[in-house]
Structure 1
Amino acid sequence: MGILSKIFTWWDGATIGTSLWSARNGEHVGTDAQGNKYFRSTGKNVRTTEGYERRWVMYVGANDASNVPSEWHGWLHHSYNGVPESHLPPPRIWEVDYTPNATGTVTAYRPQGALERGGVRAAATGDYEAWSPDA
C-alpha cells in the first residue's frame, strides 16, 4: 500500500494518524489469527468518559468489524481484563476455525436459484398447491 493511500484512506487498514497514535499512546496487547493487532491506552488519555481504558484494533486489510474473533470482541468491549488466551477454554473437537462474514463478497453463500448462480430454480415437485380465494 502506498504512502498516499495510508494518509487518505481509512477503510483499508490503519491510517498514518492511527499508527502514530498507537505507537505513542498505545501498548500492544496481542495479535489474533488473522493478524489484527490489539492495543490499549497507556498515555494521558487512559480512561474513557465511562471510566474504562481505551482499547482498539488495527485491522489487516479491510476495516470490517466482522474480522474480529469473538474472544477479542469480548476483550475490546471490556467483558474481561486479561488477554483472551487467559480466558478461553480448550477448543472442542467439533469447533471450526473462525471465518469472517462473507456477505457482499464473491465468496458469499448463494443458494440454488439465486441470480448470481444463473437464476434457475428447481422445478416444482407436485406437492405444492397454490392458494385461491375460492377454495
Structure 2
Amino acid sequence: MGVLGSIFTWWNGATIGTNWALRGKTRAGEDSLGNVYYQGGVDMNGIPRRWVIYSGANDASRVPPEWFGWLHHQVEALPDQSLPPPRRWQKPAQPNQTGTANAFRPAGALEKGGHRAAATGDYEAWTPGE
C-alpha cells in the first residue's frame, strides 16, 4: 500500500496513525492468518491495552477464537502458552461468509429458487377469540 493509501484508508490495513500509536508497544504474537497482535499501556481502569493489526481486509471475524479470548482479556497468557494444542477433530476457524458465494442459504431463499417445502400439517393457525 502506498503512502497516500496508508494515510486515508483504514480498511486495507493499519493507517499511519495506527502505526504511529503502536510505537513502543510490545508485539505479542502472530496468528495463522498473519494478523499481528500488540500489547502496551493501560486504559483508565488499569487494564492492559491490546490491538490486532489485520493482514488484509479489516474483518473482526478473521481473528481466531484463541486470540479473540486474549484480546478481550478472557485469558491473560498468550494463546500458545495457555491453551492446549488443537485436537484432531477440531476444524480451523473460518471468517464470516455472509455476502459471499459460500454464505448459507436455506431452502426457500431467493438465491435457491425461492421455493420451500410445503407445510407438514403440524402447524395450527391461531384465531382471535377462541
Q: What TM-score results when the alignment is normalised by the length of structure 2?
A: 0.82
CA distances 1:41-95 after superposition (whole Å, capped 9, x unpaired): 2xxxx21111022110001222222211111111112223321111111222221
Matched, 1:11 2:18: no
CA distance in 2, matches of 1:106, 1:130: 33
CA distance in 1, matches of 2:5, 2:107: 39
Partner of 1:34: 33
Moved over 6 A (4+): none
Summarize the alignment of residues 51-90 of structure 1 with structure 2, pairs less than 5 Å apart.
51-90=46-85
Question: How far apart are 1:11 and its partner, in Å?
Answer: 2.4
> For the structure 1 residues 109 and 130, does the alpha-carbon distance in structure 2 shift closer, same or farther, using more than 3 Å as the test?
closer
2:121 corresponds to which of 106, 109, 128: 128
Q: SS of the residue aligned with 1:113? A: coil
CA distance in 1, matches of 2:124, 2:2: 60
Matched, 1:94 2:89: yes
Q: SS of the residue aligned with 1:54? A: strand
Question: How far apart are 1:36 and its partner, in Å?
Answer: 0.6
> For the structure 1 residues 50 and 112, does the alpha-carbon distance in structure 2 shift closer, same or farther, using more than 3 Å as the test?
same
CA distance in 2, matches of 1:130, 1:98: 37
- Structure 2 residue ranges without an equivalent (≥5): none
CA distance in 1, matches of 2:49, 2:61: 20
Give the stretch that moved more between structures: 111-120 or 27-36: 111-120
Q: SS of the residue aligned with 1:62? A: coil
- Residue correspondences, number: 127
Counterpart of 2:116, as a letter, is: R
- Structure 1 residue ranges without an equivalent (≥5): none
Counterpart of 2:13, as a letter, is: G
RMSD: 2.2
